[in-house]
Protein backbone atom coordinates (compact mmCIF):
# COMPACT_ATOMS: atom_id res chain seq x y z
CA UNK A 1 0.00 0.00 0.00
CA UNK A 2 2.81 2.41 0.89
CA UNK A 3 4.43 1.91 -2.52
CA UNK A 4 1.11 2.50 -4.31
CA UNK A 5 0.52 5.76 -2.40
CA UNK A 6 4.06 6.89 -3.14
CA UNK A 7 3.73 6.09 -6.85
CA UNK A 8 0.36 7.84 -7.06
CA UNK A 9 1.62 11.07 -5.50
CA UNK A 10 4.82 10.97 -7.56
CA UNK A 11 2.85 10.51 -10.79
CA UNK A 12 0.44 13.33 -9.86
CA UNK A 13 3.36 15.65 -9.07
CA UNK A 14 5.08 14.88 -12.36
CA UNK A 15 1.80 15.40 -14.22
CA UNK A 16 1.37 18.91 -12.80
CA UNK A 17 5.04 19.83 -13.33
CA UNK A 18 5.00 18.70 -16.97
CA UNK A 19 1.80 20.62 -17.74
CA UNK A 20 3.00 23.75 -15.91
CA UNK A 21 6.29 23.66 -17.78
CA UNK A 22 4.44 23.08 -21.06
CA UNK A 23 2.16 26.11 -20.59
CA UNK A 24 5.08 28.24 -19.43
CA UNK A 25 7.31 27.27 -22.36
CA UNK A 26 4.56 27.85 -24.95
CA UNK A 27 3.03 31.06 -23.60
CA UNK A 28 5.81 32.53 -21.46
CA UNK A 29 5.41 34.69 -18.39
CA UNK A 30 4.01 37.66 -20.32
CA UNK A 31 0.81 35.76 -21.27
CA UNK A 32 0.39 33.92 -17.98
CA UNK A 33 -3.25 33.18 -17.05
CA UNK A 34 -4.61 32.04 -13.70
CA UNK A 35 -6.88 29.35 -15.18
CA UNK A 36 -5.43 26.93 -17.73
CA UNK A 37 -8.78 26.72 -19.56
CA UNK A 38 -8.50 30.44 -20.44
CA UNK A 39 -5.64 29.70 -22.85
CA UNK A 40 -8.25 28.35 -25.24
CA UNK A 41 -10.46 30.79 -27.22
CA UNK A 42 -14.03 31.55 -26.07
CA UNK A 43 -16.51 29.01 -27.37
CA UNK A 44 -13.88 26.25 -27.66
CA UNK A 45 -14.85 23.01 -25.92
CA UNK A 46 -11.76 23.03 -23.71
CA UNK A 47 -12.46 26.63 -22.68
CA UNK A 48 -15.99 25.70 -21.63
CA UNK A 49 -14.87 22.72 -19.51
CA UNK A 50 -13.98 25.21 -16.76
CA UNK A 51 -17.70 25.57 -16.08
CA UNK A 52 -17.98 21.82 -15.43
CA UNK A 53 -14.92 21.93 -13.17
CA UNK A 54 -16.59 24.72 -11.17
CA UNK A 55 -19.18 22.17 -9.95
CA UNK A 56 -16.44 20.03 -8.38
CA UNK A 57 -16.61 21.73 -4.94
CA UNK A 58 -20.32 20.92 -4.68
CA UNK A 59 -19.36 17.25 -4.51
CA UNK A 60 -15.79 17.17 -3.24
CA UNK A 61 -16.10 19.52 -0.25
CA UNK A 62 -18.93 17.63 1.52
CA UNK A 63 -17.34 14.25 0.77
CA UNK A 64 -13.95 15.44 1.99
CA UNK A 65 -15.54 16.76 5.18
CA UNK A 66 -17.19 13.38 5.76
CA UNK A 67 -13.90 11.56 5.14
CA UNK A 68 -11.97 13.90 7.45
CA UNK A 69 -14.54 13.37 10.20
CA UNK A 70 -14.24 9.60 9.75
CA UNK A 71 -10.46 9.91 10.09
CA UNK A 72 -10.95 12.01 13.26
CA UNK A 73 -13.08 9.18 14.69
CA UNK A 74 -9.92 7.08 14.95
CA UNK A 75 -7.89 9.72 16.84
CA UNK A 76 -8.34 9.71 20.61
CA UNK A 77 -7.87 13.47 21.03
CA UNK A 78 -11.09 14.04 19.02
CA UNK A 79 -13.20 11.64 21.12
CA UNK A 80 -14.87 14.46 23.13
CA UNK A 81 -16.10 16.02 19.86
CA UNK A 82 -17.45 12.78 18.35
CA UNK A 83 -18.15 10.17 21.03
CA UNK A 84 -20.35 9.57 24.06
CA UNK A 85 -18.94 8.78 27.48
CA UNK A 86 -19.25 5.04 26.71
CA UNK A 87 -16.97 5.58 23.63
CA UNK A 88 -19.80 5.03 21.12
CA UNK A 89 -20.20 7.47 18.25
CA UNK A 90 -22.70 10.23 18.86
CA UNK A 91 -24.60 11.13 15.67
CA UNK A 92 -25.35 14.64 16.88
CA UNK A 93 -21.69 15.33 17.67
CA UNK A 94 -20.54 13.91 14.32
CA UNK A 95 -23.06 16.12 12.51
CA UNK A 96 -21.97 19.15 14.52
CA UNK A 97 -18.31 18.48 13.70
CA UNK A 98 -19.13 18.23 10.00
CA UNK A 99 -21.10 21.49 10.14
CA UNK A 100 -18.25 23.27 11.93
CA UNK A 101 -15.78 22.09 9.28
CA UNK A 102 -18.12 23.19 6.46
CA UNK A 103 -18.55 26.57 8.16
CA UNK A 104 -14.76 26.99 8.38
CA UNK A 105 -14.45 26.27 4.66
CA UNK A 106 -17.25 28.74 3.92
CA UNK A 107 -15.60 31.46 6.03
CA UNK A 108 -12.38 31.00 4.07
CA UNK A 109 -14.26 31.68 0.85
CA UNK A 110 -15.34 35.08 2.20
CA UNK A 111 -11.73 36.24 2.41
CA UNK A 112 -11.28 36.58 -1.35
CA UNK A 113 -12.97 36.05 -4.68
CA UNK A 114 -9.70 34.77 -6.14
CA UNK A 115 -9.92 30.97 -6.09
CA UNK A 116 -6.13 30.64 -6.17
CA UNK A 117 -5.91 32.53 -2.86
CA UNK A 118 -8.50 30.22 -1.29
CA UNK A 119 -6.65 27.09 -2.44
CA UNK A 120 -3.37 28.52 -1.12
CA UNK A 121 -4.96 29.28 2.25
CA UNK A 122 -6.58 25.87 2.58
CA UNK A 123 -3.43 24.04 1.52
CA UNK A 124 -1.13 26.24 3.57
CA UNK A 125 -3.21 26.10 6.75
CA UNK A 126 -4.84 22.70 6.86
CA UNK A 127 -2.18 20.61 5.12
CA UNK A 128 0.50 21.08 7.80
CA UNK A 129 -2.06 20.88 10.62
CA UNK A 130 -3.33 17.52 9.37
CA UNK A 131 0.26 16.40 8.86
CA UNK A 132 0.99 16.99 12.56
CA UNK A 133 -2.23 15.39 13.76
CA UNK A 134 -2.20 12.42 11.41
CA UNK A 135 1.17 11.73 9.78
CA UNK A 136 0.84 10.10 6.36
CA UNK A 137 3.45 7.54 7.34
CA UNK A 138 1.08 6.14 9.95
CA UNK A 139 -1.81 6.00 7.48
CA UNK A 140 0.12 4.04 4.89
CA UNK A 141 1.82 1.66 7.27
CA UNK A 142 0.63 -1.90 6.80
CA UNK A 143 1.39 -4.14 9.79
CA UNK A 144 3.34 -7.29 9.07
CA UNK A 145 1.10 -10.34 8.84
Among candidate residues 8, 6, 36, 9, the one with its CA nearest the CA of residue 21: 36
Sequence length of the chain is 145
Compute the CA torsion angle 63, 69, 73, 74 (nearest 10 deg): 70
Q: Against a cut of 0.75, is the pTM above it?
A: no
Give pLDDT tens digits for 20-34: 788 778 777 777 777
Contact (CB, 8 A) for 98 and 91: no
Name the pLDDT band for 92 (thresholds 50, 70, 90): very high
Distance CA 134, CA 111 (A): 27
Amino acid sequence: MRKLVSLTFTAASLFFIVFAFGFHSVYGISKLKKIAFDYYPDGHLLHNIKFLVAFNPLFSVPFNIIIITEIFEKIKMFNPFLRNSDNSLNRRKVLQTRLVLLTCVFILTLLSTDIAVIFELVGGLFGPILGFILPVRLLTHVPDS
